[in-house]
Structures are given as C-alpha cells and as structure tokens.
Amino acid sequence: MGYDVSTQVCLTDEPAGEIVRLTKKHDVNSKRLGAVLLSRLEEIKKGHPSVGDVRGMGLFAAIELVKDGRTRDPVIPWTVEFYEKKHPLASRLLARLKEHGLYTYMRWNVLMICPPLCITEEELAWGLDRIDDALTLADEYVASVKVDDLVE
C-alpha cells in the first residue's frame, strides 16, 4: 500500500480492502483511458492550428495554445498580468466549455484536462468533443492576430 492509500483509509469508514480495490480499479482505468485521451488529443491537435502541443500522463493532460505551430510562441504571453487575471481568450474559452457543462482550468496558454479517475470512455469522448469545438475560438483568435500583424 502506498502512502496515499493509507491516508484515504484514515479519512473514511470504508474497510481498507475496499479502498485498495477502488484505488487499483481507478489506476487501471487511468492507464487505459489515458491512452485514449492522448490519442484523441493528437487528433484534435491536427485539426487546430492554435494547438502547438499536447501532452499528458494517465488522465492528466494539457493542450498548449500557440500563435504559430512552427515557432510555438504562446498565444497568451507568460506575464505577471496574465497570471493575476485571465487573458480574454482564456476567459472566452473557459466560458464556452462551462456553457457546455465542462469545467477545466487554464494557466496562460495551457488548457489542463484532468477528469475524475472513474470517468467512462463515453464521458471522456463527450468532454473531448466539447474541447474540440471550443478550440475554434482559439483558432479564430490566432487568425485575427496574424491579420493584425500583417497590417502593422
């Protein structure tokens, strides 16, 4: 048993064996669906010019949004200003996801994906469909930034 399991046992009325069984079940689910998640994120990356990279381990993943796939310049600058408050693109993207019932987190140009370990494959596909749809906002933003750069 790992440290995390013994801590969980202390915090619940469940028998220790049940906690260990659930932990192992979620670990297997995380590994299996983590592969599904990363595979689908790679597909999403190919369809969105604003996605510079996707990465993750198990059911914890991230989508990096960029201005240009070649240079991989972040679409949102890594500044104190955008650490303390959300960039307008991040606000719009998170609002769109929330409208569709998906709650996630974004720091600067990185959209975090960390569903519960007990998620089903169907639920994961549903959430990724929403993310795929919402990323059109980032694509539109990147296209408008490139047009503005040409005008200057």
Rounded CA gap, 77 and 100, in Å? 27
Find the mean pLDDT for residues 76-85.
Answer: 73
Q: Of residues 56 and 28, which shows the higher confidence score?
A: 56
Rounded CA gap, 83 and 78, in Å? 7
Question: Domains in the chain, please, with CATH?
Answer: 34-151 (3.90.1150.10)
pTM of the model: 0.76
What is the per-residue pLDDT for 145?
A: 75
Q: Count H helices and E strands in the chain, helices first.
A: 5, 4
What is the per-residue pLDDT for 151?
A: 40
Lookup: tokens for 57: 């381990």
What is the per-residue pLDDT for 15?
A: 60
